[in-house]
Amino acid sequence: MKIGLMNHLFAPYARGGAEKVASIMLKNYQAAGHEVFLITSKHKNANTELLEKQRTANCKTYYIDSEFYNIGKRPIFLRLFWHIFNLFDFKKFTACQKILNQEKPDLVVTHNLMGLGFMSASAIKLSGAKHHHFLHDIQLLHPSGLIFFGKERILNTIPAKIYQKMTRRLIGTPDLVISPSNWLLKEHTKRNFFPDAKTEITSLEKIFNLESKNNLAKNNLDNNFASQNKKINNQHKTLFFAGQIEKHKGIIFLIKAFKKLAGPNLTLKIAGRGSCEKEIINLIGADKRLQYLGYLNKDKLEEELKKSDLLVMPSLCYENSPTIIIEAKNLGVQVIASNLGGVPEIVGQNDILFNPGDERDLFTKINNI
């Protein structure tokens, strides 16, 4: 089968879980013997030759120019205009249609389409290919793609409802809609998205473990996933945060709470990159209990996770199915996470949930482990 995969970000622009999942699914399709090509976006001034050298997808890759990469630096009224323009970007629709007519895929699997334009769903329908859509967040429900804890009403405002009416029409009815969590699928279906589509809940753990099994089989190794959490060092616990260094991920909240409530027997290591890097470096200051490691590649991230006692996921926004939790579980590292969104569906029996934004609840539970 010939499969086209679409995600608006991909290495070297990858920054979050959606890109990680899309990359793993691409490899899984190839391992199953399918022919795969990728449609993604690039900065309009990017050097295509350099991108080709940096890309990690081992398949034919098509790049569509996108203004998405500069949008965060623009004034709010220009960002609003861009989101409206992105809904009905005929230029990207034409580019996508041209690629699909050339490749003639049997199936197109779409992930996040924000920077590729939602009209690409119409291009898929016109091509005659089957369409599977993978949900990662709420970008079809709100242009920010985020719901902050305590701000849930944002999805029910008049502007949000107008936006949803447009995206609902543009995404149409894929042949299959895949969601890693019941929570995320219900947020869409209760707003009348995908009324006639087949839906499926597929855990990210299943997708990640399939990749691992493919790698093990390729290298003639045994499958040896962790079946239970490793023993925690109660004399000195090492906490680990990995993710985007953004306020909505709760990293600022976590550092402030740590400095206020953590004792000398706790260490916090932080890995990732984002717009708040300077702020967290200033917050850490000379406190030797905190270490900012910067961005870590897959191997370094796994190495740090293995050395940690607890993965802390303090999100202040509703999460779908954070990939870092799956990675921690596979390494036997216990998780403590905000009780939001799809997170309760994926944590293990020995993992712990705390009230979002509640610093005392968080550190009381950490100290009691």
Using one digit for the tens of pLDDT, what is the confidence trace for 219-236?
443 444 454 566 676 678
> At a CB cut-off of 8 Å and minimum separation 6, what does 161 contact?
none
pLDDT at 208: 79
Q: Among 97, 99, 98, which residue's Cα sits nearest to residue 38?
A: 99
Statement to judge: residues 88 and 212 lie in one domain:
yes
Residue that terminates a domain, selected from 218, 247, 271: 218
The partner residues of 39 in beta bridges, in order of sequence, read 6, 62
What's the number of domains the chain is made of?
A: 2
Question: Are 195 and 311 members of one domain?
Answer: no
From 184, 218, 252, the end of a domain falls on: 218
Whether residue 253 is found in the same domain as residue 347: yes
- Same structural domain for residues 49 and 195? yes
Q: Show the domain range for 280.
A: 237-368
Strand partners, 108: 4, 131
Please tell me whether residues 196 and 94 are part of one structural domain.
yes
In this structure, the answer to whether residues 60 and 149 fall within a common structural domain is: yes
In a domain, 205, yes or no: yes
On whether residue 225 sits in a domain, the answer given is no
* Same-domain status, 272 and 334: yes
Alpha-carbon distance of 319 to 136, in angstroms, equals 9
Indicate the residue among 218, 253, 288 that finishes a domain. Answer: 218
Q: Where are the alpha helices (DSSP H) in 226-354?
A: 251-261, 277-284, 298-307, 323-330, 343-346
Euclidean distance between CA atoms 194 and 96, whole angstroms: 22
Which of 241, 248, 328 is closest to 291 using CA atoms? 241
In this structure, the answer to whether residues 297 and 345 fall within a common structural domain is yes
Residues 210, 314 within the same domain:
no
Q: Identify the sign of the CA torsion 63, 64, 67, 68.
A: negative
Residue 43 in contact with residue 89, Cβ under 8 Å? Answer: no
- Asked whether residue 34 falls in the same domain as residue 158, the answer is yes
Which residues in the chain show pLDDT less than 50? 216-225, 227
DSSP state letter for 320: S
- The residues with which 237 forms a beta bridge, in sequence order, are 266
Interior CA angle at 208 toward 241 and 365, to 5°? 35
358 DSSP assignment: -
Residue 226 lies in a domain: no
pLDDT at residue number 79: 66
* Cα distance between residue 201 and residue 224, in whole Å: 25
* Dihedral angle of Cα 260, 270, 278, 7, to the nearest 10 degrees: -130
pLDDT at position 223: 42
254-259: which pairs have CB atoms within 8 A and are 24 or more residues apart? Answer: 254/312, 254/314, 254/362, 255/280, 255/283, 255/284, 255/290, 256/283, 256/359, 257/314, 257/359, 257/362, 257/363, 258/289, 258/290, 258/363, 259/283, 259/287, 259/290
Q: How far is residue 305's CA from residue 156's CA, in Å, rounded to a whole number?
A: 39
- Judge whether 230 lies within some domain: no
3-state SS class at 337:
strand
Is the Cβ–Cβ distance between 366 and 239 less than 8 Å?
yes
Residue 10 lies in a domain: yes
Within 10 angstroms of residue 15's Cβ, the number of other Cβ atoms is: 16
Nearest to 166 by CA among 260, 105, 285, 83: 83
pLDDT score of 222: 40
Domain CATH for 328: 3.40.50.2000
Length of the chain: 369
Q: Three-class SS string for 166-207?
A: HHHHHHCCCCEEEECCHHHHHHHHCCCCCCCCEEEECCHHHH
Whether the CB-CB separation of 182 and 161 falls below 8 Å is answered with no
pLDDT of residue 225: 45
Same domain, 50 and 175: yes
227 domain-assigned: no
User: Percentages helix, strand, coil for the chain, rounded to the nearest 5?
Assistant: 45, 20, 40
Statement to judge: residues 196 and 343 lie in one domain:
no
Among 139, 130, 243, 226, which Cα is nearest to 176's?
130
